[in-house]
Amino acid sequence: MTEVLEAPSALDERLRVLRRIAIVPAYNEEDSVGRVLDELRAFDPGLEVVVVDDGSTDRTADTARARGAHVVRLPFNLGIGGAVQTGFRYAWEHGFEIAVRVDGDGQHDPRELGAVLEPVLADEADIAVGSRFSGRNGYRSSRSRRIGIRLLAWCVSALTRQRITDPTSGFQAANRLGIRLFAADYPHDYPEAEATVMVFKHRLRLQEVPVAMRARETGRSSITALRSVYYMVKVLLAIFVALFRRKAVPLE
């Protein structure tokens, strides 16, 4: 148990020597992105931040620039997968050694980053994912959504032969290997479940970490009731097909 007690200071040491970046995808999040950036700075002042503005029509980019973040503006909305991949490309090309993804809508609490980073810093995982459902829980969502996530979790767990409780979580940390994979290929529309299978196919190590997530501060989830059925089918098809691919893409 001494390890647990020593963890906070040890973590800082390991993190401080690395070039590290937070990838913040944001689509019309002018009301929440500022707070997310402030909280990221509070967590770690040396953490660089790139906000990927996915074709917002509000002042998301200005808000982010005013707080000193790098801002990559996409000329039109690519969807969350394309935006996140842009962030990982940025991290890869600029030589960052560790990257975390924290969504601009505020549902990922930067104070939980220590927990999400831990497996990667300890070199126990190439990619760590914050899960709302493994262990402590502060998360409520609609019944249909929970059922959908559980079904997806069951499929992804069976395919990867590893217990995955929250296959839709985008609260991720990645080392250089993980950054390289996600820069080369990140799935589209509703990408996290497929990305999990992809990580498994590339034999990278993925670990889930229990975290508390917040309810969205502003805006609505991009997944509405009717669309969720369509996404469900699409994602199940995608992860099923992904199994028959040898490797997602040749890595550079």
Partner 1 sequence: MTPWRVSIAAAIASVLLILVVFELIRSRRLRERYALLWLLTGVVLLVLSLWRSGLNTIAGWFGISGYPPAILFAVGILFILLVLLHYSTVISRLSDQSTILAQRLALLEERLGDERQEHRGG
Cβ neighbours, 10 Å, residue 4:
7
Give the contact letters, 219-248, x = binds to partner 1 (CB under 8 A), - = no.
-----------x--xx--xx--x--xx---
Q: Is 16 in the site for partner 1 (CB under 8 A)?
A: no
Phi-psi region of 142 (alpha: psi -120 to 50; beta: other; left: phi over 0): beta
Q: What's the half-sphere exposure (Cβ side, CA atoms, 13 Å) at 203?
A: 2
Question: Looking at residue 215, what DSSP letter applies?
Answer: P
CA 163 vs CA 42, 132, 147, 152: distances in Å: 33, 14, 17, 12
Q: Considering beta carbons, is residue 118 or 185 the nearer one to partner 1?
A: 185
CB of 75 to partner 1, least distance (A): 5
Q: Considering beta carbons, is residue 94 or 245 the nearer one to partner 1?
A: 245
Question: Looking at residue 203, what DSSP letter applies?
Answer: T
Site for partner 1 in 64-83 (CB under 8 A): 75-76
Q: Considering beta carbons, is residue 5 or 226 the nearer one to partner 1?
A: 226
Q: Is 8 in the site for partner 1 (CB under 8 A)?
A: no
CA 127 – CA 104 distance, rounded (Å): 20
CB of 234 to partner 1, least distance (A): 5
CB of 81 to partner 1, least distance (A): 11
CB of 22 to partner 1, least distance (A): 26
CB of 26 to partner 1, least distance (A): 19
Contacts with partner 1 by CB under 8 A: the residue count is 12
The residues, any chain, with a CB within 8 Å of residue 83's CB and separated by 6 or more, are 25, 27, 52, 54, 74
Q: Considering beta carbons, is residue 136 or 245 the nearer one to partner 1?
A: 245
Across the strands, what pairs with 49?
22
In this structure, the strands spanning 206-210 and 48-53 are unpaired
Q: Considering beta carbons, is residue 17 or 76 the nearer one to partner 1?
A: 76
CA 171 vs CA 65, 84, 112, 211: distances in Å: 22, 11, 10, 9
Phi and psi at residue 128, to the nearest 5°: -120, 145
CB of 232 to partner 1, least distance (A): 11
Among 10, 39, 189, 214, binds partner 1 (CB under 8 A): 189
Closest residue by Cα to residue 192 from 75, 117, 108: 108
Among 188, 201, 216, 227, binds partner 1 (CB under 8 A): 188
CA 180 – CA 158 distance, rounded (Å): 25
Q: Is 45 in the site for partner 1 (CB under 8 A)?
A: no
Residues that bind partner 1 (CB under 8 A): 75-76, 188-189, 230, 233-234, 237-238, 241, 244-245
